[in-house]
Chains A and B, each alone.
Chain A
């Protein structure tokens, strides 16, 4: 079973990768945005967003979604950072997972944007990724993991 980092620990993945061709994806299978949009009963279903698929359609259903995966096919494409942060800001409480080709040096930024799960394409990197989650112990901005900007916390 594929593994990933969730809440700082390395665990096995219970979800199956999306299958865009499938007409009736299994309940443990992630859905593409298109599949998810067509589904009438969305509760309990996980969805994967690709670059260019902004989370706007998800915003009215955030309570029902246990998992949003944001895929990073290219690590230089930073759209997913905004998607993640926006989902958290609008109240998403479920698992927010980065998947694909992001790199180790991005996980601290991803974490601060509200991601709590990380599934890099290269699984052999998982331990190193955990180590980089906390490259910084302090930051200026208000982010999902630290709702107050530094200027409201300085003593």
Chain B
């Protein structure tokens, strides 16, 4: 993974000093609330319903064990002993003291971490595939480019006061695990006719109030032009994006208003002046970045022997077998598997992790992998390089810590924002809905029978829980001061991305498990052979679900 040199460290240290001064000025009454607001937001600090919330950047979801231990210690010293993994692969703390945040940031800086631009109207944390570098379906590792984008976007002087937040995702594999169609800019590593790898550039995707699937404005961009092209897009957006209405301020609205072709034209016109300029990437810089993401020292393993051993362990202990089947996946290197650790145990808020679990994960990362951990936008953790023969002992340790829930990719592995329990923007609570659904569908055999199913919950239109791209999406709405829930179906974050359709009038919180059950029953009744929920939905449409859910009770 990327390691700071003196320059990176200096920038982060100076940022801590700057923020310390800003906080002191604010506490001394020299900065107004309105002036302090964007400054603290650009350092990840929200003031929430109960306390400030601090969002710590995890660049493209990659952490080492030292960093994870530091986070564990910080949750003990500055917070209530737990952290939350967000849908942008970041880590959130719910209870820090505003006055202590500068100290907290200084501690993070000692392990090459920060909270820069995790919030505010600026370029946010660039996200990618949690299986980058180990996935068998990968064309090229996207992480070097994420790091190049991270550096370029960090404290970019021109783009710190954009019309609205701006999110970039990069994907380098056949399957899109980074939801690039739902980002302001989505980048996909693709080969051109000559086999040379460059970027396909999508713009104007996004969720929120007006969900839109991103459109390609460049089918193939030579790698060296990556940053100048991004700069041209951002400059067009910064100058022309709407600033009169925050719900119309995202780039997707601008792209729609101008039309994709006119937008592309405007970008090209800006680009003419930036192209081949000093920001053009050099061969040395690209290989420097790639040098941080070379394959670790994998052992040469006898895959066949390992697999047969694993098979007999799975046969002997079916719970372990379930976990292997659901929570581990194929690795590029023979004899290894990538393991997803579910943070979706029933009864715990999705994505929450305690300080003891964080410490344990750091130890396990050292013991079973090369000391690296990844966070995922589905709010889980990944140990990417585990020897097959070690899975059983790893699983035993996870079990002891409540981290062995075997539900990755299934209904109860839901994405859920913090909602009304923590978030001051919420229309409704989201955590109790998640918990009630998890409790209702706790039978693993039933879950496995349903097949892969993504259920996403957001507490308001801001859509942090990505409800528009869940196979089943749930959105908290406010109806005359009461919390209600709207259900939508058929969303997808894959390369065949789609926006979910609203099922109909919204429901009360206590009815939600029944509603979900009716939807699932409808699916099971209509399913052909091995269809997934999404397959069936796409074949039959929304009507059968609507009829069933809204059928008068008899």
- Asked if chains A and B come from one complex, the reply is yes
Contact of A140 among B154, B238, B282, B288 (CB under 8 A): B154
The answer to whether A142 touches B14, judged by C-beta atoms less than 8 angstroms apart, is no
Q: A139 near B: Cβ within 8 Å? A: yes
Q: B356 near A: Cβ within 8 Å? A: no
The answer to whether B160 touches A139, judged by C-beta atoms less than 8 angstroms apart, is no
Q: Restricting to A64-118, which residues have a CB under 8 Å from any CB of B?
A: 75-79, 81-83, 85-86, 89-90, 103, 105-106, 108-110, 112-113
* CB of B261 to closest CB in A, whole Å: 20
The answer to whether A141 touches B14, judged by C-beta atoms less than 8 angstroms apart, is no
Selecting from B4-12, B53-61, B208-216, B321-329, the interface stretch reads B4-12
B151 to chain A: closest residue by CB? A140
The answer to whether A81 touches B160, judged by C-beta atoms less than 8 angstroms apart, is yes
The answer to whether B157 touches A113, judged by C-beta atoms less than 8 angstroms apart, is yes
The answer to whether A139 touches B157, judged by C-beta atoms less than 8 angstroms apart, is yes
The answer to whether A105 touches B22, judged by C-beta atoms less than 8 angstroms apart, is yes
Q: B296 near A: Cβ within 8 Å? A: no
Q: Provided the pairs A76-B121, A82-B239, A105-B22 are in contact, do residues A140 and B160 lie with their beta carbons within 8 angstroms?
A: no
Interface size on B, residues (CB 8 A): 38
A135–B39 Cα distance when bound, in Å, is 14
A79–B237 Cα distance when bound, in Å, is 9
* CB of A29 to closest CB in B, whole Å: 27
Selecting from A8-16, A19-27, A30-38, A143-151, the interface stretch reads A143-151
Q: Enumerate chain A residues within 8 angstroms of B38, measured Cβ to Cβ.
A: 75-76
Q: B161 near A: Cβ within 8 Å? A: yes
Cβ contacts B218-238/A at 8 Å (1 or 0 each): 000000000100000001001
* CB of B123 to closest CB in A, whole Å: 12
* CB of A85 to closest CB in B, whole Å: 5
Q: Restricting to B374-427, which residues have a CB under 8 Å from any CB of A?
A: none
The answer to whether B273 touches A90, judged by C-beta atoms less than 8 angstroms apart, is yes
The answer to whether B273 touches A89, judged by C-beta atoms less than 8 angstroms apart, is yes
Q: B110 near A: Cβ within 8 Å? A: no
Decide if the interface of chain A is mainly helix, strand, loop or mixed.
loop
The answer to whether A150 touches B151, judged by C-beta atoms less than 8 angstroms apart, is yes
Q: B547 near A: Cβ within 8 Å? A: no
* CB of A81 to closest CB in B, whole Å: 5
A102 to chain B: closest residue by CB? B161
Q: B279 near A: Cβ within 8 Å? A: yes
B11 to chain A: closest residue by CB? A138
Q: Enumerate chain A residues within 8 angstroms of B235, measured Cβ to Cβ.
A: 82, 86
Q: Enumerate chain A residues within 8 angstroms of B148, measured Cβ to Cβ.
A: 151
The answer to whether A75 touches B238, judged by C-beta atoms less than 8 angstroms apart, is no
* CB of A25 to closest CB in B, whole Å: 27
A86–B238 Cα distance when bound, in Å, is 12
The answer to whether A148 touches B278, judged by C-beta atoms less than 8 angstroms apart, is yes
The answer to whether B39 touches A149, judged by C-beta atoms less than 8 angstroms apart, is no
Q: A40 near B: Cβ within 8 Å? A: no
Contact of B35 among A75, A79, A82 (CB under 8 A): A75
Cβ contacts A55-71/B at 8 Å (1 or 0 each): 00000000000000000
Decide if the interface of chain B is mainly helix, strand, loop or mixed.
helix
A83–B161 Cα distance when bound, in Å, is 13
The answer to whether A110 touches B278, judged by C-beta atoms less than 8 angstroms apart, is no
Q: Enumerate chain B residues within 8 angstroms of A150, measured Cβ to Cβ.
A: 7, 151
* CB of B547 to closest CB in A, whole Å: 48
Interface size band for A: 35 or more
Q: Restricting to B114-156, which residues have a CB under 8 Å from any CB of A?
A: 121, 148, 151-152, 154-156
Q: Enumerate chain B residues within 8 angstroms of A143, measured Cβ to Cβ.
A: 157-158
The answer to whether A140 touches B155, judged by C-beta atoms less than 8 angstroms apart, is yes
Q: Restricting to B158-191, which residues have a CB under 8 Å from any CB of A?
A: 158-162
Q: Provided the pairs A76-B161, A82-B238, A86-B235 are in contact, do residues A151 and B14 lie with their beta carbons within 8 angstroms?
A: no
The answer to whether B155 touches A151, judged by C-beta atoms less than 8 angstroms apart, is no
Q: Enumerate chain B residues within 8 angstroms of A78, measured Cβ to Cβ.
A: 121, 158-162, 238
Q: Restricting to B277-291, which residues have a CB under 8 Å from any CB of A?
A: 277-279, 281-282, 285, 288
* CB of A128 to closest CB in B, whole Å: 9
Contact of A142 among B35, B243, B279 (CB under 8 A): B279
Q: Provided the pairs A109-B160, A148-B278, A151-B282 are in contact, do residues A139 and B238 lie with their beta carbons within 8 angstroms?
A: no
The answer to whether A110 touches B157, judged by C-beta atoms less than 8 angstroms apart, is yes
Q: B18 near A: Cβ within 8 Å? A: yes
The answer to whether A139 touches B155, judged by C-beta atoms less than 8 angstroms apart, is yes
Q: Enumerate chain B residues within 8 angstroms of A81, measured Cβ to Cβ.
A: 157-161, 238
The answer to whether B277 touches A142, judged by C-beta atoms less than 8 angstroms apart, is yes
A140–B285 Cα distance when bound, in Å, is 13
Could you jot down 15 A-B contacts, CB within 8 Å? A77-B243, A78-B121, A78-B238, A79-B243, A81-B161, A82-B238, A82-B239, A83-B239, A90-B273, A106-B160, A112-B157, A140-B151, A140-B156, A142-B277, A150-B151
Given A77-B243, A78-B238, A136-B11, list of 17 further CB < 8 A pairs? A76-B121, A78-B159, A79-B239, A81-B238, A82-B235, A82-B238, A85-B157, A89-B274, A108-B157, A138-B7, A138-B14, A141-B156, A143-B157, A151-B282, A151-B285, A152-B278, A154-B5
Residues of B whose CB lies within 8 Å of any CB of A are 5, 7, 10-11, 14-15, 18, 22, 35, 38-39, 121, 148, 151-152, 154-162, 227, 235, 238-239, 243, 273-274, 277-279, 281-282, 285, 288
Residues of A whose CB lies within 8 Å of any CB of B are 51, 54, 75-79, 81-83, 85-86, 89-90, 103, 105-106, 108-110, 112-113, 135-143, 147-152, 154
Closest 5 CB pairs of A and B: A78-B161, A109-B157, A112-B157, A151-B285, A142-B278
